[in-house]
Amino acid sequence: MKKKKILLFAGISLAFVLMAGCSSAPKEDEIKDDLAKCADQQLLSDGEVLDSIEITDRNTDKKQKIDSILCEVTTHKGDVSYEKGVEITYYKYDKNWELGNISVSDEDSWLMKPLKGVDAEVIADALVSERIMIDGQNWDIETGEIKNVTVDNRKSDLENNKEEVSLTLTLDSGVEEAKGTLTADFEFDKNWEMVSCNPNDDFKVTPNLNKTLNLTEDDLIGLLSEQIFDYDENGIGKQEISVTKDQVSDFKIDNQKTINKGKYQEYQCSCTFSKANAVFGIEFTVESQYDGEWSSVVTSKKLQVESVDWAGKWTGRYNNVPYSGDVVLELNVDGDQVTGTYTYTPDVLHEFSEGGSYNVSGTVDGRTLSLRLSAGDWIKKPKRESSYLKQDIIISPNVNENQVKGQGHDSSPITLNK
């Protein structure tokens, strides 16, 4: 009987031992299996792959029936590796431990490392907006200008998130193509970012022959001939002076420059052009810009009087209320000195309306379109002379016609033709 009791107590003790074993906290393999099963919902983004799980700390409180486990989880997506902190919590219900929560650390705390160096597409994107010196001019790289990027050499330090890349770059502005080598330094912080770009001195520019602009002399004169010059000189009034191709001579391109990847060209030009009774010098600038096609405009122009043909016999009319009549102005020019005679004849002759003539003289100012002739001695003096009858003659040419206008005797308006 005593022997049976001993066996009974032994059986009960074994049962308690087995029951205690079933209620022990989850083992490491079980934890990893649970985390792997739940990873798709709580740990991984689309396309992300779970690589490893390492338990770094654990706190099991059997009294409170809580088991908290800290893990370091390594994943990868594309060419980037992620190390994330994960906390797993188990709760004991009745006799069994059940998975409660999985908490992933904030993204800002993840350790991210590249699995390979920066690729050509990322390099090309990083080069947009960079400024490099090519043929002594700044080339600001724009979207769409990178024709080709070839990686020639890499110095990778992926452990420290760094890479130095040597590459050959081909740029195409549409008008010019530039090709050369450069070195770029990249650092990885969630993404590869370029921190420096150092072009070498081997960039060569080749014009795109189908897009090259070469304005000829005839092209530039044609643009000039579309212009109207507003000439305004004190005392003579405003004139609109037009230019035609056949009036232009001594044309020169004084300076030509090309900038902005060949898409901007400037021509600084000068020429002489002759009107009916005057010769002018012109300086003008043509700017050409390429935006899918070329457009050229005259952006500045300067007109300078070089000479006026004053010599000869000018005939016409004077108009002075209530009297009008004919005028003859004969001028001789010697260097810059002008001499001549001024004769006027009223339409109606009577004692209060007489004709007359007197000598005139003056000095040519080659920079203006006006001429002032001082009144000299009478040649034919009216019987009823007044102090205001003999006046200085002031004239200026209408350069679009062989004509001068101005002021004659008695301050009369005069219009004369040669």
Number of independent structural domains in the chain: 4
Does any domain span residue 2?
no
pLDDT value at residue 127: 96
Task: Indicate whether 301 and 323 sit together in one domain.
Answer: no
Mention every residue, 6+ apart, whose C-beta is less than 8 A from residue 266. 255, 256, 257, 258, 259, 285, 286, 287, 288
Q: Alpha-carbon distance 235 to 353, whole Å?
A: 28
Q: Which domain-ending residue is among 68, 99, 114?
A: 114
Does any domain span residue 369?
yes
Does any domain span residue 1?
no
Among 184, 182, 186, smallest CA distance to 134 is for: 182
What is the rounded average pLDDT of the residues 30-59? Answer: 86
- Check which CATH number belongs to the domain holding 233 and give it: 3.10.450
Task: Indicate whether 321 and 412 sit together in one domain.
Answer: yes
Does any domain span residue 10?
no
Sort 78 into a burial class: Cβ within 10 Å, 0-12 / 13-18 / 19+.
exposed
pLDDT at 41 over 80: no
Does any domain span residue 19?
no
Q: Would residue 298 be called left, alpha or beta, if left means φ above 0 and alpha means ψ between -120 and 50 degrees? A: beta
Q: Alpha-carbon distance 151 to 127, whole Å?
A: 13
pLDDT value at residue 16: 31
Q: Which domain-ending residue is among 88, 114, 140?
A: 114
pLDDT at 152 over 90: yes
pLDDT: which is higher, 135 or 267: 267
Task: Indicate whether 285 and 339 sit together in one domain.
Answer: no
pLDDT digits (tens, 9 = 90+) for 187-230: 999 899 999 999 999 999 999 988 888 899 999 999 999 999 98
Q: Alpha-carbon distance 318 to 406, whole Å?
A: 10
Give one DSSP letter per residue of 178-202, joined into a string: EEEEEEEEEEEESEEEEEEEEE-TT
pLDDT at 288 over 90: yes
Residue 49: CB atoms within 10 A of its CB come to 11
Q: Alpha-carbon distance 171 to 106, whole Å?
A: 42
Domain that holds residue 136: 120-207
Residue 235 — pLDDT band, cuts 50, 70, 90?
Answer: low
Does any domain span residue 9?
no
| Three-class SS state of 142 | coil
Task: Indicate whether 396 and 344 sit together in one domain.
Answer: yes
pLDDT at 165 over 70: yes
Does any domain span residue 6?
no
Task: Indicate whether 109 and 32 sit together in one domain.
Answer: yes
Task: Indicate whether 379 and 321 sit together in one domain.
Answer: yes
Range list of β-strands (E), 62-107? 66-77, 80-93, 96-104
* Phi, psi of 365, rounded to the nearest 5 degrees: -105, 105
C-alpha torsion sign, points 298, 304, 306, 311: positive
pLDDT at 360 over 50: yes
Task: Indicate whether 287 and 318 sit together in one domain.
Answer: no
What is the rounded average pLDDT of the residues 395-408? Answer: 90
Q: Which domain-ending residue is among 179, 207, 235?
A: 207
Does any domain span residue 56?
yes
Residue 17 DSSP symbol:
H
pLDDT value at residue 212: 86
pLDDT value at residue 284: 97
Amino acid, res. 286: V
Task: Indicate whether 181 and 228 sit together in one domain.
Answer: no
Task: Indicate whether 102 and 136 sit together in one domain.
Answer: no
Instruction: Indicate the range of 16-20, 119-123, 184-188, 369-373 predicted with least confidence.
Output: 16-20
Mention every residue, 6+ apart, whose C-beta is less than 8 A from residue 150. 120, 167, 168
Q: Alpha-carbon distance 282 to 328, whole Å?
A: 33
pLDDT digits (tens, 9 = 90+) for 76-117: 999 999 999 999 999 999 888 998 889 999 988 999 999 999
Residue 41: CB atoms within 10 A of its CB come to 8
Count Cβ neighbours within 10 Å for each residue of 14-34 and write b for 16 or more, e otherwise. Answer: eeeeeeeeeeebbeeeebbeb
